[in-house]
Amino acid sequence: MLDNLEITRVAESRIGSVDFENLGFGNLFSDHMFSMRYEGGAWREPRILPYGPISIDPANATLQYAQSVFEGLKAFRGVDGKVRVFRPDMNLARMRTSCERICIPPPDEAMFMGAIEHLVALDQAFIPSKRGQALYIRPIVFSDEGHLEVRPSTRYRFLVMTGPVRAYFDASMAAVALKVEERQTRAAPGGVGFAKTGGNYAASLRPGESARAEGYAQVLWLDGVEHRYVEEVGAMNIFFRIDDTVVTPALQGTILPGVTRDSVLTLLRDRGIEVEERRIALDEIVEASRRGRLREAFGAGTAAIIAPVGRIACRGEELVVANGESGTLTRELYEAITGIQRGEVEDRHGWNRLIDIG
Ligand SMILES: *Cc1c(COP(=O)(O)O)cnc(C)c1O
């Protein structure tokens, strides 16, 4: 596993300039990054280098045609001082699936896990320890070839960067407001909605900005064919609690298969709570809300873990969920997942990968 890894350390660490009390999201990076190149049909040259700019050909196919894939996962410093990465095997599997869809040679387990283990151990000083804070890990893979012809590239780059990120919520867990986007869509059947590829996010920017201008934090996407069925929210999967059943849209190719989504479903089943993965018509949510049966709603994704939804704007009206606050099951799931990640709650499913920090 990465026998020929070469490590070039920074001359001076930036750790002294990190304000752990005021972290943001994705604006601060650890000292080092991991890099590999794909050339001549194989991934080669594993390197750890100082984090910094890279040079690419201006005709780079990623810049022209968006041949790129990314992942997002987190490392946590537990209450016992141990460092855990949450379910990296799921991120590797998803990155491989995303790569296959857009003709990128997928990274293998040795390089993906090796990169994370070496990088997290080397930059362990950047892992925050407060509840909710984490070291965000961002692996990317993209074309590293300059050509203007539309075809798969022959050269690629795999990079992994990390950086400390804030807790998304304070103890009050304020609920977010969503706006249903009834016209523009992010994914269509047969497209790349299930892949974590850059183009999907470019497509989501305009509707996202419109929602924010109207005071909503995120867009609630509907399906790309009939604009009738709920799909996901921003970069999170969506869950609704109707009476005592939790429903979430089934994975049918247009929805990103979230690691947090899978974790939520597992924890709900563990608790004996009824869950359904199926198509959910927006009409059904509106009707459930009218009848007082829509008890909770929340988004699930690595960044926020669990984000309570307090209001949903659609068709000129606004549905208020759980009095605009965080529901009890929503809060319980947040506590359960963050508890496992911090080593406070038994990891019954073997989700945590312990990092040897020497
Ligand atoms: C990454 C992402 C999610 C959440 O996936 P996690 O693995 O839970 O972080 C959901 N939807 C979209 C569009 C995403 O990009």
Q: Which atom of ligand 1 is nearest to the CA of 260?
A: 8
Q: How far is the CA of 301 from the centre of ligand 1 (A)?
A: 5
Residue 348 belongs to a domain: no
pLDDT at 358 (0 to 100): 84
- The residue whose CA is least distant from atom 10 of ligand 1 is 236
Q: Which residue of 181, 237, 262, 341 sits with most ligand 1 atoms within 8 Å of its CB, as the best mutation to test the pocket?
A: 237
- The residue whose CA is least distant from atom 6 of ligand 1 is 258
Residue 47 belongs to a domain: yes
Structure confidence by residue, pLDDT tens digits, 110-157:
999 999 999 999 999 999 999 889 999 999 999 999 999 999 999 999
Alpha-carbon gap, residue 233 to 257, rounded angstroms: 13
Backbone dihedral angles phi then psi of residue 143, each to the nearest 5 degrees: -60, 135
pLDDT at 33 (0 to 100): 98
Q: Which atom of ligand 1 is nearest to the CA of 300?
A: 8
pLDDT at 132 (0 to 100): 87
Q: Which atom of ligand 1 is nearest to the CA of 236?
A: 10
Q: Report whether pLDDT(236) > 70.
A: yes
Q: Are residues 322 and 194 in the same domain?
A: yes
Q: Which atom of ligand 1 is nearest to the CA of 302?
A: 9
Q: Which domain holds residue 59?
A: 6-165
Q: How many domains does the chain have?
A: 2
- Nearest CA-CA partner of 98 in 207, 242, 195, 213: 195
pLDDT band at 3 (very low <50, low <70, confident <90, very high): confident
Q: What is the CATH classification number for the domain harbouring 74? A: 3.30.470.10
The residue-averaged pLDDT of 351-358 equals: 94
Alpha-carbon gap, residue 32 to 45, rounded angstroms: 16
Q: Are residues 143 and 203 in the same domain?
A: no
pLDDT at 172 (0 to 100): 73
- The residue whose CA is least distant from atom 13 of ligand 1 is 235
pLDDT band at 168 (very low <50, low <70, confident <90, very high): confident
Task: For residue 309, list its beta bridge partners.
Answer: 176
pTM: 0.97
Q: How far is the CA of 78 from the centre of ligand 1 (A)?
A: 24
Which domain-ending residue is among 134, 165, 196?
165
Q: Report whether pLDDT(241) > 90.
A: yes
The residue-averaged pLDDT of 64-72 equals: 97
Q: Are residues 196 and 234 in the same domain?
A: yes
Alpha-carbon gap, residue 191 to 256, rounded angstroms: 12
Q: Are residues 137 and 266 in the same domain?
A: no
Q: Are residues 126 and 186 in the same domain?
A: no
Residue 229 belongs to a domain: yes
Q: Are residues 199 and 94 in the same domain?
A: no
Please give the distance of CA 92 from its chain centroid, rounded to a whole number: 13
Alpha-carbon gap, residue 85 to 90, rounded angstroms: 11
Q: Are residues 201 and 61 in the same domain?
A: no
Q: Are residues 181 and 158 in the same domain?
A: no
The two three-digit tokens of residue 299, written as one number: 């988004």
The residue-averaged pLDDT of 51-64 equals: 97
Q: Are residues 288 and 189 in the same domain?
A: yes
Which domain-ending residue is among 165, 195, 212?
165
pLDDT band at 171 (very low <50, low <70, confident <90, very high): low
pLDDT at 131 (0 to 100): 87
pLDDT at 15 (0 to 100): 98
Q: How far is the CA of 8 from the centre of ligand 1 (A)?
A: 32
Q: What is the CATH classification number for the domain harbouring 192? A: 3.20.10.10
300 CB contacts (<8 Å, ≥6 apart)? 236, 237, 238, 239, 258, 260, 261, 263, 264, 306, 307, 333
Alpha-carbon gap, residue 7 to 35, rounded angstroms: 10
pLDDT at 169 (0 to 100): 73
Mean pLDDT, rounded, of the chain: 96
- The residue whose CA is least distant from atom 1 of ligand 1 is 235
Residue 320 belongs to a domain: yes
Q: How far is the CA of 96 from the centre of ligand 1 (A)?
A: 15
What is the percent of the chain where pLDDT is above 70? 99
- Nearest CA-CA partner of 178 in 295, 324, 293, 301: 324
For the chain, how big is the Rg over CA atoms in Å? 21
DSSP 196: -
Q: How far is the CA of 64 from the centre of ligand 1 (A)?
A: 24
Alpha-carbon gap, residue 198 to 68, rounded angstroms: 6
Structure confidence by residue, pLDDT tens digits, 260-293:
999 999 999 999 999 999 999 999 999 999 999 9
pLDDT band at 1 (very low <50, low <70, confident <90, very high): low
Burial string for 306-343 (b: 16+ CB within 10 Å, else e) reads bbbbbbbbbeeeebebbeebbbebbbebbbbbbebbbb
Q: Are residues 37 and 67 in the same domain?
A: yes
Helices within the chain (DSSP H only):
61-65, 88-101, 109-122, 198-213, 259-270, 282-290, 328-341
- Within 6 A (CB) of ligand 1 lie 72, 196, 232, 235-237, 256, 258-261, 300-302
Q: Which atom of ligand 1 is nearest to the CA of 186?
A: 13
Q: Report whether pLDDT(219) > 80.
A: yes
Q: Are residues 136 and 209 in the same domain?
A: no
Q: Are residues 22 and 137 in the same domain?
A: yes
How far lies 83's CA from each of 76, 162, 340, in Å? 6, 14, 12
Q: Report whether pLDDT(189) > 70.
A: yes
